[in-house]
Amino acid sequence: MKKLIKVSLALFTALSVNTAANAQDFKFGPKFGYNSAKLEGKSWEDFHDNNSLNGYHLGLFAEVRFNKFAIQPEVYYSSEGGKWNVNFENTTIEHDFNLKYINVPLMFKYYLTNGIAIEAGPQAGFLTESKMKFADLYPESPKFNEFDFSVNVGLSINLPLDFMISARYNAGLTNVIEQPDVDWKNRVMQLSLGYRF
C-alpha cells in the first residue's frame, strides 16, 4: 500500500509540473472538507436508502488553467463507506462499513465566469483501511477490493484571498467487494475548502 501511495504522489507531481509549463495560470494548495458517504448495492442483503456516514477528506490539489479550461489533479485521504442493515429473528442489526482511501482524481474544469467553474473527471482510489471486516459477519466471506474507480462531477468557486470552495459528487463504478453476485458501490458527496498558492 505504501508503494501505491508513493506512485500516486509521483503521478500527481509529474502531471502538475509538466502541464504547468504551458499554462496561463498555475495554482496549488491544500484542501479539506466534509464527506457524506454511503454504499449503494444489490444482493447479499440490500442497503437501505438512508445509510450515509459522516466523514472527511484532506489532501492537495494543483490547478493548471488555460483561459476558460483547466486541469486539476489531486491526491487526498478520504473516509467513506456506509451503514448496512439486516433483519434477523425480528431484530434489525446495523453495521457501519468504515472505508479509508487514498484518492487520485483528475478533474477537467470549464470556467463559466472568471471564478466559477463546472468540473468532471475520473478518480482512482486505493483502499488503505477497512474497520469492518466481512469475516465479522460471515466466516470465509469475501474481501474489500483494494482499488476503486469512480467518476466525479461538481462545481467550484474561487473566493477572495485565494480561497476556493467546491461541491462534488463521486460515483463509484467498481464493486466495493470481491463477490460476483453482489453489487456494492461507493457514493460520496463532498464539500471542500481549499487555499490556492
Task: Give 144-181 pLDDT, tens digit per residue.
Answer: 899 999 999 999 999 999 999 999 999 999 999 887 77
Q: Write down the pLDDT at residue 182.
A: 76
- Decide: pTM greater than 0.85: no
pLDDT in tens, 30-88: 999 999 999 887 765 556 566 788 999 999 999 999 999 999 999 999 999 887 766 66
Q: Write down the pLDDT at residue 191.
A: 98
Eight-state DSSP code of residue 174: S
Q: What angle do CA 109, 150, 163 make, to 5 degrees?
A: 40
Q: Are 26 and 62 in contact (CB under 8 A)?
A: yes
Name which of 82, 80, 123, 88 is nearest 103 in CA terms: 123
